[in-house]
Amino acid sequence: MLYGNPQNYAWFRARVVLYIRVSTDEQARHGYSLGAQREALHEFCDTFQCQIVAEYSDDGVSARKEMRRRPGLLRVLDVVKSGGVDYVLFIKLDRWFRSVREYYRVQDILDAAGCGWKAILEDYDTSTTNGRLNLNIRLSVAQDESDRTADRIKFVFSERVKNGGAIYGTRSLPFGLETKDHRVQVIEDKADVVRGMFDHYESTTSTRDTRFWLRDRFGVDLPYNTIRNMLHNSLYCGEYRGNRSYCQPIISPEQFRRVQEILARQSAGHTRQSVHQYVFTGLLRCPVCGCTLKAYPQKDYKFNRVYLRYRCSQHWTDHRCTWKSTPWEPRLEDWLLDHIQPQLDAYLARFDVQEEKRRRASVDVGAIQRKLSRLQDLYVDGMISRASYDEKYQALISQQEAAQEAQLSATAARDLEPLRQLLTGDFRSIYGTLSPSERHTLWASVIDHIVVKCAGYGQFDLDVVFLP
């Protein structure tokens, strides 16, 4: 509960980002639902007249997970890094973190951006030694509680598996299996598809051929990686986590082991990493389906050569696209070197204009923030009336929002100095001295993607789309 005048608190009229997290339905039943958290945070912001810059949530995500596995938290940190945020608000500390190590990793980011945090239903003071000790104790207790809960869940799941009980829903099961009466059971009308898949793969040892066979024979279109995962899944022979009679088998354990031996031999044959470096990795697009072209080496055993080419996987792997061309990397580079320099000159000119707008917007935002701070000091000291304060405050907030919008719409800062140096000299000659990885870095720094258009045998026309 809050006491006293809201204007006496540091977060009065602060710019805030709201963060909401819930990991389980049980927490939702105890009043921690996303809606309940959002309502409490908005009520807090109304009381203290906070300006909500953004609001993000993690639904079904544990506070023990690393921050890279919490998309809502990552968005919060992106907003914090961009500036213009005073506090991150959440209802309780355990909504923020249950891991001491991850807490301090995120705290370093907040400190670097000059941003604080506030648990609106709890009181923490990190400015004193005792306050920091209390915080560490609370984090450690929350982490210990989470660890003990995880241990209990593992024990329950282990006992359930021993007894053949299902520990997940139907959506988590592979094709051909379902959960019924708390057991994993076979879907009979799909079992023939699974048996056919294992039989065909064992006879051909080709996942790609098995995929097309399933499509033609049963009308079942499964992605390549899904078929690979199915071939590795021991549930199909009735085994799970050491329990060999966990569920009814679709195939025999002997066939499953034979298939695993084939998969292991194939995996061993593909462990060697590619020695080739590609210039346009991730940049080329198919003109028909729009997917990213995949790089592959075409070997010429007669002349002992390797041609670095790109092709549409939707055609060559999935048979879903009609574009059959396989452009050769050196010809793509020749086209760019012959046509791209005037476009690069124009791009740099536009970039400089956008960068100047971004710089001016950054200066404007900083100046407005200082004016807001001085205005609040004048009001606290009684130098201006409340009506005058509100009028000037709203005017500055409007200016700040306009400057922030201009800052976000301007080009993000990028280091284009290497490109400028290339354009001031003999571009083609200097380009020839770069390694493939350096060439890729050069193009990726200015180009969003390139659409490859075929104009005839061996002839290509490129539609280059630059980064904004």
By three-state DSSP, how is residue 434 classified?
coil
Rounded CA separation 82/7 (Å): 27
**Residue for token pair 């990213």:** 292
pLDDT along the chain (468 residues), means of 10: 69 92 61 83 92 90 76 91 91 81 86 90 74 74 69 68 67 84 88 94 90 91 90 92 88 94 78 69 90 86 82 82 88 84 73 66 66 76 78 79 59 58 72 85 83 71 80
Domains of the chain as residue ranges with CATH: 6-146 (3.40.50.1390), 170-268 (3.90.1750.20), 277-358+395-468 (no CATH)
Residue 412: its pLDDT value, please?
Answer: 46
Rounded CA separation 160/167 (Å): 7
Give 266-297 as a DSSP string: HHHTT-SPP----SSTTTEE-TTT-PBPEEEE
Number of C-beta neighbours around residue 111 at 10 A: 11
Contact 286, 462 (CB under 8 A): no
Q: Cα-Cα-Cα-Cα dihedral of 387, 392, 395, 397, to 10°?
A: -100
Rounded CA separation 122/137 (Å): 14
Residue 259: its pLDDT value, please?
Answer: 94
Rounded CA separation 237/141 (Å): 43
Quick check: pTM over 0.85? Answer: no
Rounded CA separation 237/256 (Å): 7
